[in-house]
Amino acid sequence: MSRRSLQHIEPVYPKSSSKKKFDHQGYGAGSPPYLRGPYASMYLKKPWTIRQYAGFSTAEESNEFYKNNLRGGQTGLSVAFDLPTHRGYDSDFKNIYADVGKSGVAIDSIEDMEMLFDGISLKDISVSMTMNGAVLPIMAFYICCALNQGVPLNELRGTLQNDILKEFMVRNTYIYPEKASMKIVSDIISYCSEHMPKFNPISISGYHMLEAGAPAEIELAYTLADGLEYVKTALDTGMKIDDFAPRLSFFFGIGMDHFTEISKLRAARVLWAQLMSEFNPENPKSLMLRTHCQTSGWSLTAQNPLNNICRTSLEAAAAAFGGTQSLHTNALDEAMTLPTPQTAKIARDTQLHLQLETKITKTVDPFGGSYVVEQLTDDLIEKASRLIESIINAGGMTQFIASGAPKERIAKAAIEKQAEIDSGKTLIIGLNSFTTDADESIKILKVDSTKVRKQQVERIQERKRSRSNKLVEEALEQLYLGAKNNTDNLLELSVIAAQKGATLGEMSYALERVYGRYSAVAHPIKGVYLAGVKDSKDYLEVKEQLKDYISKKGRAPRLLMSKMGQDGHDRGYGAVASALEDLGLEIHMTPLFQLPEEVAKKAVELEVDAVSMTSLTAAHSSLIPELKSSLQKHKSQALVILGGIIPKSEYTELHNKGVDLIFGPGTNILKAASLILKQL
């Protein structure tokens, strides 16, 4: 099923074409099924919360960034953690050196969390934390930080993402296997329902599915099916539906298909109310879907980046028209780097313009009654309902994920989209149409991970010197036994361990001793990319180049593709591997989270002609030189290829370090294949 056909929009929608199944008449905002919004007045009294997903380097630097944002009009915090933190590693762990502080803030201990919120009252500010792997230590640090500020837990407001199921599909910042992870999710929901009634213990996320390539109805269906799985897991522990359902929250991505994105949020509310009604809640808030939204990062281009301001504005408007409760707007430079204070201000001001200058907050559900939006809402409800029913019939989302089907379906959609862009069937301004050679270079924010890691290691060492290691060991043993015996609430035990001085890595390892670490195998998907580009001129040229190469060498070129470091985002990794294999190259893929030495050994074992690394988090600056050194040590002459979010300002330095080819964001894979063949 193609991505384009799923988002098809008719030129005209007369009133007679509407199915009227979910007509806006009788479905007012603030009443089930909440088609027009979860609250009767929506933005009339209070507009959506303005958030800025941010965090980088050290807790002190992020703290200053947060304070500046709050002074500039931001109304809620959204914390981005670095990848070692996500994956449950302290900053002194030997294998994660390249990622410390790079794509988020490094948090190793309660002291780091206290520095992160220094001078920011957790009683007065809503805090969103995007964390799914190391949720227990991060939540424990946050709770301890609040208590140390003197804030009662029942006053805390905010959201923990805690949506582990989608990690197994798209984002890959998991630690433990599915069953153990679901136990952790359930314990957090239980703890928060008892102690933190204003806090959302989970944000069920479709955003990362959209970013990984999922079309609207798949994002919608898989997200709600994840939510349904969490509800059933919580009920299985003895909780009642009204104990926790009113505090469940959602998180959707907003792309450039304007009317579809508006309709998606409206459809989500109706579908969730339908699903939850099956549990016979007494509280109507248990039927209510409240959501945060974020504009798409994938839609941003490194080419002509000032265009991204317009893209983000259009996506932000769609989120507001659809009725979001909070919103993050991406900065114009996020296709290349972390946002600078200037670009973050532009992104934040975009929301202020919408709220204060456009008057779109003066009416509820402004597109309600629009023939096109009502019809698209109906269509999405129907398509997503069928998908959800098939998941339920397959045994639920956990079993469905274990089958590998959702990950593969999303990956196929992403490859289809890439083929459409590369062949010119889908136009993106500044990338494959209306291009310009004008220099639009922008300031790049760089993080010195070596400096950050040194500082974090010193803090960890000082922390361990000043604490009672005996009390820490006892607390960690209790956490281990709680997981092993499946008895106590793991968040309660994590809070105790945090209070005694345990680090994030120590708590994560206590659980790893019981649960182990989850790992997944990557492989190319055949046939999808070729079907989309086989009639293009560029494909025919690549086909001739490959034929010439094989006639000279006696075989197809052999390429090892790798994901080094702790970055689990694999949309580009999978799409490029699948495309190149379809084009006729022999492709091998390493597992995620590799070290340079591991990749080099595999390259020698397979006798490959080229080795590539895909990077989205700036870890390449440390990992690529080590890969080149390891290849030389093993006497491999393989070309070194680098792809992903690589600022052009770094190209010369990277070539000097031994990189043969560099492919930045938005690269046409057909043209990249041609360059690889020429270089070989």
612-630 burial by CB neighbour count: b if 16+ within 10 A, else e? Answer: bbbbbbbbbbbbbebbbeb
Amino acid in the structure at residue 160: L
**Strand ranges of the sheet holding 326-328, from the earlier edge strand across to the other edge:** 199-200, 158-160, 126-130, 76-80, 49-54, 326-328, 291-295, 248-254, 202-205
Amino acid in the structure at residue 31: S
Q: Tens digit of pLDDT for each residue in 224-283?
A: 999 999 999 999 999 999 999 999 999 999 999 999 999 999 999 999 999 999 999 999
Residues 195, 394 contacting (CB under 8 angstroms): no
Find the angle CA(461)-CA(467)-CA(471) to the nearest 5 degrees: 125
Q: Is 281 helix (H, G, I), strand (E, B) or coil?
A: coil
Report how far apart the first and last C-alpha atoms of the chain are (Å, whole number). Answer: 36
Give the pLDDT of residue 341. Answer: 84
Question: Phi, psi at residue 554, to the nearest 5°?
Answer: 85, 5
DSSP state of 338: B
Amino acid in the structure at residue 152: P
Q: Quote the pTM value.
A: 0.91
Tally of residues, the chain: 680
Taking the mean position of all CA atoms in its chain, how far away is CA 51?
16
Task: Using alpha carbons, select from 385, 504, 451, 400 the residue that is nearest to residue 622.
Answer: 451
* Phi-psi group of 9: left, alpha or beta (phi > 0 → left; psi -120 to 50 → alpha; rest → beta): beta
Number of helices (H), then strands (E), belonging to the chain: the values are: 27, 14
Give the pLDDT of residue 619. Answer: 85
Q: Is 230 helix (H, G, I), strand (E, B) or coil?
A: helix
Q: Measured between alpha carbons, how far is residue 481 from residues 78, 188, 512 in Å?
A: 33, 18, 12
What does 310-334 look like in DSSP terms, one character per residue?
Answer: HHHHHHHHHHHHHT-SEEE---TTT
Catalytic residue ranges: 53, 207-208, 563, 567, 569
Give the pLDDT of residue 76. Answer: 86
Residues 393, 169 contacting (CB under 8 angstroms): no
Tokens of 488: 């106590």
Give the pLDDT of residue 17. Answer: 57
Round to whole Å and give the CA distance between 551 and 533. 24
Residue ranges of the chain whose pLDDT lies below 50: 1-6, 22
What does 161-193 look like in DSSP terms, one character per residue?
Answer: ---HHHIIIII----S-HHHHHHHHHHHHHHHH
How many other C-beta atoms can be found within 10 angstroms of the C-beta atom of residue 440? Answer: 13
Q: Measured between alpha carbons, how far is residue 647 from residues 212, 620, 651, 652, 654 in Å?
A: 22, 11, 7, 11, 11
Give the pLDDT of residue 198. Answer: 95
Task: Using alpha carbons, select from 177, 45, 55 the residue that is nearest to residue 447.
Answer: 55
Give the pLDDT of residue 21. Answer: 52
394-409 burial by CB neighbour count: b if 16+ within 10 A, else e? Answer: eeebbebbeeeebbeb
Round to whole Å and give the CA distance between 154 and 123. 10
Tokens of 350: 């975009």
Round to whole Å and give the CA distance between 290 and 618. 34
Domains, in order of start, for the chain:
49-403 (3.20.20.240), 461-515 (no CATH), 528-679 (3.40.50.280)
Q: Tens digit of pLDDT for each residue in 12-23?
A: 667 655 555 545
